[in-house]
Structure 1
Amino acid sequence: MIIDVHVHIRSQPMLARALRQAEQFDMILCLNSINLIGSSSPNFPSQEFVSRCNDQTAQVAAAHPERVIPMWYLNPAHGQFAVAELARRVKSHHGPQGVKLWTAVKANDPCADAVFAMCADYGLPVLQHTWLEVTGNLPGETDPFDMRAAALRHPDVTFFWGHASGDVEYTVKLARGLPNIYLDIGGCEATNGYTEMLVRYVGADHIVQGSDGTGRSFISQLAKVYDADISTEQKDRILYKNAQAVFAEQSHNHTLLA
């Protein structure tokens, strides 16, 4: 089994291919910001865009419950709308689920507090896009320093630290000592030593498989784990056991079924 915590879909053919490959590789896809009309996602999505993406995510998750976990796409800057949107989605989906945040606001921005409070109540993991761009991040884009601050600010929220920020050397220093984070390894090149460094400094118990598909191929991203010089047990932790344990915690949260 493989649980891929970081998958985007931009068209019907892309969706069909992803589902076909999920069957082929025995993968569960955590889908977020599904946008089947093929347009690019805005850095600051509107309420209408968020709702449309989540409608499509809900439809795909309902049609393929054995292969899809929905990750509800939100813009915390929408305030009460974001809170209401999350509550509506959580209560209408009976199964594992989570939240995806991209570049609208930084993860440590106080405007995200209400969303994170709900995530803590419902036991929802948050996939937070995190990046360190040498030419400068987007205004609302979370960098690894912001991500560490958010994890400390919200100790009851489990975060999938997207892309491991892209810069592994910075990330391993900032991610240490944070029990509520799991580094998502998706979206970067399959480079020798990448996964080994994360395991050495953070531990296999705090790393999860993410592809950033379908912008990246599943195979190239899986190579980061399968070809890494780590034990079989460590590979299994990264490929599915850690994410499986995170989503299993939701079964103990009675408010999820209220």
Structure 2
Amino acid sequence: MIIDCHAHIVDATDHTLDEILARADRAGIDRICISSLGRRAWDHLPSVERLIEADEDVCEAVAKHPDRFIGAVYISADHVEKSLELLDKSIANGPCRMLKWWISQLADDPRLNPIVERCIELDVPILAHTWTKATGNHPNESTCWHVVNMARRYPEMKIWMAHCGGLWEESARVVQHCANVCMDISGGEPEDGIVDCLLRHIGPERIFYGSDIPGRSFVVQMSKVLSSNADESAKRMILGESVRRWLHV
């Protein structure tokens, strides 16, 4: 089974979802973990209304295609009570299986603590946007160090670092001793050697294939895995088995 652990939807219309699934079928992808950052502009500091519409769209997409989509609840530390409410509504008592945060706060922001604690209670993994820009990060854009700080604060939590942290070699070294941190390979350029580097530091059980569609493509990001020196067993784990175990799907 191939699972894309990192994808976005812009709405839950049949046209949008059918197009995603048609492309996934051509790439041989069985299931897709989806989040929404809102229907219009992707605000760096989402309002409560934007969190609600993102939740509505993801839940609708999962309801329409429960065998294909795995939903993530989008939250913000600026709206902790609403985030906890959405977490309980759509994960504890709904169809979603994971949580997503973006750049409205750093990954080690203490305002996230009650949200992380609720995720631990529910055994829910967290997908954390992580990046390092040559031109400088957004003020609330996390690096690998912010993710590791949170992971060490809560060793019981399950968190995966999106985009290999941007600087994948440094990020792999930083997280190698944090067993509760996994890394997805979504986004960025399909550079040779990414997967081989991660394998040396953290092993296939902590590496997840992801695309970051619609900004990237399924197959281009998959080439990072297929062109690596990983053996077939490791490739199967990276392409789906590892994240399937984390999500219990």
TM-score after normalising by structure 1: 0.91
- The count of aligned residue pairs is 246
| 1:168 corresponding residue in structure 2 | 168
- Report the Cα distance in structure 2 between the residues aligned to 1:34 and 1:149, rounded to whole angstroms: 25
Query: Aligned to 2:31, which of 21, 28, 33?
Result: 28
The alignment partner of 1:6 has SS state of strand
Deviates more, 1:227-236 or 1:74-83: 74-83
Give the aligned partner of residue 220 of structure 1: 220
Q: How far off is 1:27 after superposition?
A: 2.2
Distance of 1:4 and 1:184 partners within structure 2: 10
Q: 1:129 corresponds to which letter in structure 2?
A: H
Aligned equivalent of 1:62:
63
Contact 1:30 1:69 in 2 (8 A): yes
2:115 aligned partner: 115
Instruction: Find the residue that maps to 2:152 and give its secondary structure.
Output: helix
**Deviation string, structure 1 residues 142-163 (Cα, Å, up to 9, x no partner):** 1111111111112111111100
CA distance in 2, matches of 1:144, 1:14: 32
SS at match of 2:131: coil
Q: Is the 8 A contact 1:126 1:158 kept in 2?
A: yes
Match of 2:92 in 1: 91
- 5 Å-filtered alignment, 1:42-61, equals 42-61=43-62
Q: Are the counterparts in 2 of residues 29 and 67 from structure 1 also a CA contact under 8 Å?
A: yes
Partner AA of 2:22 in structure 1? R
Tell me if the contact between 1:162 and 1:183 (Cα under 8 Å) persists in the aligned partners.
yes
After TM superposition, list the pairs within 5 Å mapping 1:96-175 onto structure 2.
Answer: 97-175=97-175
What's the secondary structure of 2:160's corresponding residue?
strand
Indicate the SS of the match to 1:188. Answer: coil
**Aligned partners of 2:210 and 2:121: how far apart in 1?**
25
Q: Residue 20 and residue 30 in structure 1: after superposition, are their counterparts in 2 closer, same or farther (change >3 A)?
A: same
- Secondary structure class of the residue paired with 1:10: coil
| Partner SS for 1:192 | coil
Instruction: Give the residue type in structure 1 aligned to 2:19.
Output: R
Q: CA deviation at 1:92?
A: 3.5
Does the 8 A contact of 1:14 with 1:214 survive in 2?
no
Question: Does structure 1 conserve the Cα–Cα contact (< 8 Å) formed by 2:37 and 2:51?
Answer: no
Q: Structure 2: 5+ residue runs without aligned partners? A: none
**Residue in structure 1 matched with residue 211 of structure 2 by the alignment:** 211
Deviations 1:12-52 (A, max 9, x none): 444322111233413211000164x4x22100100000000
Cα distance per residue 1:63-102 (max 9 Å; x no partner): 10100000100112212121112111123324x6100100
Instruction: Indicate the residue corresponding to 1:17 in structure 2.
Output: 19
- Decide whether the 8 Å contact of 1:185 with 1:209 is kept in 2: yes
C-alpha separation in 1, matches of 2:213 and 2:233: 24
Name the Cα RMSD after superposition: 1.5
Letter of the aligned partner of 2:35 in structure 1?
Answer: N
**C-alpha separation in 2, matches of 1:92 and 1:158:** 20
CA deviation string 1:175-212 (max 9, x = no partner): 11111111000001111111111111221121011111
- Letter of the aligned partner of 2:31 in structure 1? I
Q: Residues 17 and 61 of structure 2 are in contact (CA less than 8 Å); yes or no, is this contact kept in structure 1?
A: no
Structure 1 stretch 181-190 or stretch 11-20: which is displaced more? 11-20
Task: Tell me the TM-score normalised to structure 2 length.
Answer: 0.94
Task: Give secondary structure in 2 for the equivalent of 1:210.
Answer: coil
* Contact 1:22–1:67 (Cα < 8 Å) also in 2: no
1:195 maps to: 195
Which residue number in structure 2 is paired with residue 242 of structure 1? 242
Q: Which residue of 2 aligns with 1:40?
A: 41
One-letter code aligned to 1:51: I
